[in-house]
Amino acid sequence: MKVALVGATGLVGSEMLAVLDEHNFPLTELIPVASAKSVGSSLVYKGKSYTVRSMAEGIAARPEIAIFSAGGSVSLEYAPQFAAVGTTVIDNSSAWRMNPANKLVVPEINAHLLTKNDKIIANPNCSTIQMVLVLNPLHLKYKIKRVVVSTYQSVTGTGKKAVDQLMQERAGIADQDVARAYPHKIDLNVLPHIDVFLDNGYTKEEMKMVNETKKIMGDDSIRVTSTTVRIPVMGGHSEAVNIEFENDFDLATVRQLLEQTAGVVVQDDVKQNIYPMPMNAKGRDEVFVGRIRRDESQANSLNLWIVADNLRKGAATNAVQIAEYLVKNNLLA
């Protein structure tokens, strides 16, 4: 079982190594792949040193699985080349998510759709993954009509450059000396701007949540509107989610459904000040939900607060779980 990790030296790539290790994924050979500037460097996995290889070397090794976390343009160019030599690609970029020919997978929801013919599998957007994991059991029970979501997203979602910008600003380093990931200061600030703005006034990140939710849950009738916001925290993304159902619900049953959902942890005891927070989600694979309450302004409507580590379940963990499903169900060529 040879596994290539493309983008191995990035923030998400490093997290994927950690998750592969923690999950004891049954690989026999790791093939770390990165950009030309990193080729020849080394990284450590399970106490063993591995040399970072070029894309061509990774393809020539013909791994059974290649997990990509290297950006959309890289994936568009090289994922088909891996697939052409028989490798099953799990891609963390947005490149293949809305392609009708590619499955968009959150294992707890729709991994059963995967077959041996799926050679490029899309890993959803981080903010979408944590939301749909909570929405899905509620949709099956009460049928969702509409979702209104506002996100509070960690700088780690942008990458190392953003983390550096935040920490440099926090340390008081002069603006002209800060390598910027954002068009404005992020420390002590909030940016209602994630990814590029589109012609409809929404950002690409906001439309990802709209379109990916429908595809993963297999229901185009669900209406979704989103406002995505970057905040100066690390540890995970938070989301305030308002859900309107076709059918009325019982709050106790809602809590019970979520408590029984694989990968979801309910933290909802406001009398004890217990609710999900990114500082507690950091390094965890689960999605945390709390502040579960009826929307008193609208019939059949529910408010939730959802938090998850965007580098874990929002990226690395979900990708590794897809790989685990492929291995367990003998879906590799």
Residue 84's domain is classified under what CATH number?
3.40.50.720
Any domain includes 333? no
Same domain, 109 and 151: no
Structure tokens at 49: 């040193």
Same domain, 303 and 160: yes
301 and 319 fall within a common domain = no
The pTM is what?
Answer: 0.96
Average pLDDT, the chain: 96
Per-residue CA distances from 76 to 92, 102, 270 (Å): 12, 13, 46
257: domain range?
127-310
**Residue 220 belongs to a domain:** yes
Cβ neighbours of residue 170 closer than 8 Å, sequence gap 6 or more:
187, 232
Can you tell me the distance from the alpha carbon of 156 to that of 167, in angstroms, rounded to the nearest whole number? 12
pLDDT confidence of residue 22: 96
Q: Which residues in the chain come in under a pLDDT of 50?
A: none
> Which residue, among 34, 30, 42, has the nearest Cα to 1 in the 3D structure?
30
126 is catalytic: yes
Count: domains in the chain: 2
* Rounded CA separation 224/214 (Å): 8
pLDDT digits 0-9 by tens, 143-195: 999 999 999 999 999 999 999 999 999 999 877 777 899 999 999 999 999 99
Same domain, 278 and 187: yes
| Residue 142 confidence (pLDDT) | 98
Residues 148 and 285 in one domain: yes
pLDDT of residue 177: 77
Give me the catalytic one of 126, 139, 184, 193: 126
* Residue keyed to tokens 């933290």: 267
Residues 178 and 103 in one domain: no
Looking at the structure, do residues 210 and 225 belong to the same domain, yes or no? yes
Residue 136 and residue 218 in one domain:
yes
Residue 106 resides in a domain = yes
237 belongs to the catalytic site: yes
Cα separation of 186 and 149, whole Å?
Answer: 22
CATH of the domain at 273: 3.30.360.10
Residues 140 and 190 reside in one and the same domain:
yes
Which two structure tokens, joined as six digits, stand for 73?
A: 């343009």
Judge whether 268 lies within some domain: yes
What's the 3-state SS for the chain? CEEEEECCCCHHHHHHHHHHHHCCCCCCEEEEECCCCCCCCEEEECCEEEECECHHHHHHCCCCEEEECCCHHHHHHHHHHHHHCCCEEEECCCCCCCCCCCCECCHHHHHHHCCCCCCEEECCCHHHHHHHHHHHHHHHHHCEEEEEEEEEECHHHCCHHHHHHHHHHHCCCCHHHCCCCCCCCCCCCCECCCCCECCCCCEHHHHHHHHHHHHHHCCCCCEEEEECCECCCCCCEEEEEEEEECCCCCHHHHHHHHHCCCCEEECCEHHHCECCCHHHHCCCCCEEEEEEEECCCCCCEEEEEEEECCCHHHHHHHHHHHHHHHHHCCCCC
Residues 143 and 19 in one domain: no
Phi, psi of 303 (to 5 degrees): -110, 140
